Amino acid sequence: MPIRASALFDEFKERNILSGFRGDDALLERVTAATHCGPGALVFVDRAEFVAAVCERGAAGVITTPELADAFAGLAGGAVMTTPDLKLARALVIQAHFDRDLRPEDEPRIHPSAVVHSTATVDPSARIGAHAFVGARAAIGPDAVLLTGVVVEDGARIGARTVLHPKVVVGYDCVLGDDVIVRAGTILGSEGFGFAQDQQRKSHRIPQLGNVVIEDRVVVGANCCIDRGTHGATRIASGTVLDNLCHIAHNVEIGEDCILTAMLCVAGSTKIGKRVITSGQTGIIDHRVIGDDVVLLHRAGVATDVTEAGAYAGVPLMPLREHVKREGSIRRLAGMREALRALEARIEALEKGGG
């Protein structure tokens, strides 16, 4: 939604996100990249190489660092605002005023093609999109949004302002807190992978009777699978964010404010602490404990508990510094082998000459 630069500055100055203002009180209509800006555009700039393009194209507003602010003296008719943390400013400003509008006033709050069970509770401010389904005794909180094709099964609860993108499935009795975002195609509360084998090694399903609890402000990427607990809950604590294509098995517990990137696979009953970071394709076997402030890198394979904070990598898992040294040694092995062969040949020649 368009906003005057002065109003934007006043709003975020009170939150200590914006710290300085100079120039004209232009109308900010949209956010663009610095290289594609023009009249009405707000841009975020942290590199001097983009200053000339922004000034030439006549952006309506710039949010930049205090160190770069003077470089925008040539910006005619625009506002220059400074921030101590450009990345955070970008996140909060765009969320507040330029994000996708998921609650348009010109559309019905419940689409005619949606199916809502008569025993479900839907807050009057919630929005339910085309072909969505809300099951018996389910509860949809204030300002929640269910987009096209979402399924909320019996007894599930969706918190305030939570957004479920197309084709998300929330299994029966699962609970999502406030301000949760779940991207398209994700399944929360699928049955955990539990089987018993008889003497002929035939597998027999163990019903998984627990649920999934997603706390406030969690973001779950597209096409993730989070399995329900065997008896209790699979739980993801507040503020944690998951990338696309993550698998979280039954009874896993994940702490607050973790950053978990694509293709993470966590096996059953593992407990992950607070502020844990994992890089792509990290794998953690079952019944492990990962402590607070652990960072797992380079396709880490976790087969033992990691209780001390720090960075770890590799298979088998080791402190990052050791992993880097090992990888460096491995890259030198081919040359070392050739040198060893040459040395063996010289020794052999010397031995023959001596004989």
Domain-wise residue ranges, the chain: 3-97, 115-323, 324-354
d(CA 159, CA 6): 34
Q: Is 287 a catalytic residue?
A: no
Residue 188 CA to chain centroid, in angstroms?
A: 16
Selecting among 97, 117, 204, 250, the annotated active-site residue is 250
Question: What is the reported pLDDT for 43?
Answer: 98
For 184-203, write each residue's pLDDT tens digit.
999 999 999 999 999 999 99
Same fold, 3-97 and 115-323: no
pTM recorded for the entire structure: 0.89
d(CA 55, CA 73): 9
* Residue 94 backbone phi and psi in degrees, to 5: -65, -40
Residue 264 has, within 13 A of its CA and on its CB side, a CA count of 28
CATH 3.30.380.10 fits 115-323, yes or no: no
Q: What's the CATH code, domain 3-97?
A: 3.40.1390.10
Give the residue among 37, 40, 39, 45 at the shortest CA–CA distance from 3. Answer: 40
C-beta separation of 235 from 176 below 8 A? no
Residues of the chain with pLDDT under 50: none
Count of all residues that appear for the chain in the document: 355
Question: What is the reported pLDDT for 353?
Answer: 74
Q: What is the largest CA-CA distance in the chain?
A: 100
Helix (H, G, I), strand (E, B) or coil at 286: coil
Tokens of 151: 């399924």
Question: What is the reported pLDDT for 266?
Answer: 98
Question: What is the reported pLDDT for 354?
Answer: 61
For 204-239, write each residue's pLDDT tens digit.
999 999 999 999 999 999 999 999 999 999 999 999
C-beta separation of 204 from 223 below 8 A? no
The DSSP bridge pattern shows strands 20-23 and 79-82 to be antiparallel
Helix (H, G, I), strand (E, B) or coil at 61: strand
Which element (helix H / strand E) includes 43?
A: strand 41-45
Helix (H, G, I), strand (E, B) or coil at 290: strand
Burial of 162 (0-12, 13-18, 19+ CB in 10 A): buried
User: Which alpha helices (DSSP H) does 51-202 contain, by range?
Assistant: 51-57, 86-97
Q: Say how many Å lie between the first and final Cα of the chain, rounded.
A: 91
Question: What is the reported pLDDT for 8?
Answer: 97
Q: 2: how many CB neighbours lie within 10 A of its CB?
A: 11
Give the residue among 40, 32, 37 at the shortest CA–CA distance from 90. Answer: 32
Place of tokens 């380079």: 298
